Structures are given as C-alpha cells and as structure tokens.
Amino acid sequence: MKTVHFISGIILAAFVALHLINHLAVLASPEAHIALMNSLRVVYRNLVVEAILLVAVLIQIITGVGLVRSKGFKQASWEKWQVGSGLYLAFFFVMHVSAVMVGRFVLKLDTNLYFGAAGLNAFPANLFFVPYYGLAVLSLFTHIASIHAQKSKHAAAHQQAQIIVGLGLLTAALILVGMTHFFGGLAIPKTYQF
C-alpha cells in the first residue's frame, strides 16, 4: 500500500506543482494566470492525463486513509504531522475535485481563476474558503516536509523540513493575496459571483 500511495503521490505532486505555479502567476496579473492555465490545460485536460490524475487522487485518498488506519496516531512528531496533513489533503481532494467537476459538467462554467477565487472574495464564504485553501497548500508542504524529515539521514533534516513548511506558509499567503481583491485588485466577473 505504501508503494502505491507513493507512486500516486508522485503523479499528483507533478500536477500540483504546476497548479501552484499557475496560481502564483496571478501575482503578475489575472491575465498571466489565465494564459499559463490555458497552456497547461493542453497537457492535463486531455482525456488520458485527466483520467490518470483522477485515478491518482482516488488511489491517494484510499491508500492514505488505509495507511492511517493501520498506523494509528501513536507515531513520533513528524509522523503525526504527516498523518494530519494527509487527512486534510484527502478531505481537500474530495471537496475540490467534486467542486471542479460540478462547476464544469453541471454548472457549465470555465473552472478557471475566477471559479477558484469567487469564494475567497465573498463574505461570509471567505471565512471558509481562506482557511480551506490556505490549509490545503500548507498541508501539502507539511506532508512533503514530514516525509523528508523521516526519510533523510542528513543531520539537518529536521531544520530542512521546517524550511519546507515555511515555504508552504509563504506560498499559501502569496496565492491568497493574489487571488483576493482585498490585496491584488482581483475583480470577480458576475458569472462567478455568489
């Protein structure tokens, strides 16, 4: 189960890295974000790659929850962070992928920057969506940091893992700043407004 979880995690990590870079592009401008997204969609919005990503998400959730059930919560510090961040990521994947699929196939919306940012820019929805997205980014980096801290034989692995978590905080903050009209001047089109 660990091997399958690891392989599906690598597949998702490649996509998520591109996805986060895409979100960071909003700091340049909403147009830069959408232009990069349209370029990346050529790769990940084809039937084969999208099917692989959806299967990887499903495998990641099933194997991750299975590993938590087999290990429990009686691990060392970094293992607890790995379990906690993994459980949040499982929750996020279910919610996020479901929302994107409903947006695309039921609401017939382009699930672009504005689809993702709509909840971040509407009160009181933003009281949910700001921590929801922020914790997703932080959980991803924490999960990676936890694995690094446990697997690395290097004496500085603990400090390096802390730096990875810090980069997660910075990345989450930059994305949230870029995707909110409070700081970045992002205007949400009427089609996406709550």
Q: Which pTM does this prediction carry?
A: 0.93
Residue 171 pLDDT more than 90?
Answer: yes
**pLDDT > 90 in the chain, percent:** 84
Residues for the chain: how many in total?
A: 194
What is the pLDDT confidence band of residue 184, given thresholds at 50, 70 and 90? low
The percent of residues above 70 in pLDDT, for the chain, comes to 96
In angstroms, the CA 49 to CA 1 distance is 23
Half-sphere exposure of 128 (CA within 13 A, CB side): 8
Q: Tell me the per-residue pLDDT of 52-88, one tens digit each, with 9 for 90 and over.
A: 999 999 999 999 999 988 876 666 788 899 999 999 9
Q: What is the pLDDT of residues 125-164, one digit of tens each?
A: 999 999 999 999 999 999 999 999 998 888 899 999 999 9
Q: Cis link prior to 189 (omega < 30° from 0)?
A: no
pLDDT at 72: 65
